[in-house]
């Protein structure tokens, strides 16, 4: 997992225990965490100030959708993975081709997806 060593990942997740689990898994894979952020405003603010290679975005943040941040990251060519209990068919058309992982997520699948994106982000 050395290719992930020091990779900075923005984590946007409103569920405390899921955010904690993501943070632990990413750190054990060698990643550095920016966040986690539980709301769109703080996540957007951090995304404009912090340096990071890619983002993990929970789609629904306590009823607020993360799509404006995803649009902004897309416009800046920052790769991201959408995390959601929704299936791809429930996503807006513009995000259906974006990398996404359904919750509850498989940590091996998540790390594999991050590895693939890291190749284009570094």
| Helix, strand or coil, per DSSP, at residue 85 | coil
What is the model's pTM? 0.92
Q: Would you call 65 helix, strand, or coil by DSSP? A: strand
SS3 70: helix
Predicted local confidence at residue 9, as pLDDT:
97
- CATH classification of the domain holding 115: 3.40.50.2300
Token readout for 15 is 């569920």
- At residue 122 the predicted structure's pLDDT band, cuts being 50, 70 and 90, is very low
Q: Is the pLDDT of residue 48 over 70?
A: yes
Q: Which domain holds residue 8?
A: 2-121
The number of folded domains in the chain is 1
pLDDT mean across residues, the chain: 90
What is the pLDDT, as a whole number, of residue 45? Answer: 98
User: Which of 14-18, 39-43, 92-96 comes out lowest in average pLDDT?
Assistant: 92-96
- Do β-strands 80-84 and 64-65 pair in parallel, antiparallel, or remain unpaired? unpaired
């Amino acid at each position: 997992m050395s290719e992930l060593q020091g990779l900075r990942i923005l984590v946007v997740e409103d569920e405390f225990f899921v955010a904690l689990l993501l943070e632990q898994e990413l750190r054990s894979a060698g990643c550095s965490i920016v966040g986690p952020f539980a709301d769109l405003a703080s996540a957007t603010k951090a995304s404009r100030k912090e340096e990071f290679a890619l983002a993990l975005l929970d789609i629904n943040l306590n009823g607020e959708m993360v799509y404006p941040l995803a649009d902004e990251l897309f416009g800046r060519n920052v790769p991201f993975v959408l995390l959601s209990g929704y299936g791809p068919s429930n996503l807006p058309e513009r995000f259906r081709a974006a990398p996404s992982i359904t919750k509850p997520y498989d940590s091996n699948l998540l790390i594999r997806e991050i590895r693939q994106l890291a190749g284009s982000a570094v």
